[in-house]
Amino acid sequence: MSKRYEFLEVKNDRYAIWYLDFGPTKRNKIGCYKIIDLYSHCRKYKYAFRFKPREGQSQEVSDSLIISNAIHYFNKEKNVFSGNRSLDRA
């Protein structure tokens, strides 16, 4: 049986959040969120992995931080570091 994403919620009346559980695993990744922009005409989406919480942090706090960071950086372009080389050098 193939695994499918399950609908969780809609945040800020704009982002639909779906979740896929990886099942029992020994790794730190325990699931994946698929966040879909409902306002976009082409329905853009991003993935955010769900990890085991850090020491002294609850799973709920960890999940909310993962989702809020993914939404915050949803439409931002990646900054590419191209090195310290100057174009003046010969």
Q: What is the pLDDT of residue 28?
A: 87
Residue 80 belongs to a domain: no
Residue 39 belongs to a domain: yes
Q: In the chain, how many domains are there?
A: 1
CA gap 74, 30 in Å, rounded = 22
Burial class (CB in 10 A: 0-12, 13-18, 19+), 48: buried
pLDDT tens, 2-48? 589 999 999 989 999 999 999 887 788 999 999 999 987 878 899 99
Residue 83 belongs to a domain: no
Q: What is the pLDDT of residue 82?
A: 55
Residue 43 belongs to a domain: yes
Look at residue 63 and tell me whether its pLDDT is greater than 90: yes
Residue 81 belongs to a domain: no
Task: Please give the residue range of the domain that contains residue 30.
Answer: 6-72
Residue 78 belongs to a domain: no
- Overall average pLDDT of the 37-61 stretch: 89
Residue 55 belongs to a domain: yes
Residue 51 belongs to a domain: yes
The residue with greater pLDDT, 8 or 76, is: 8
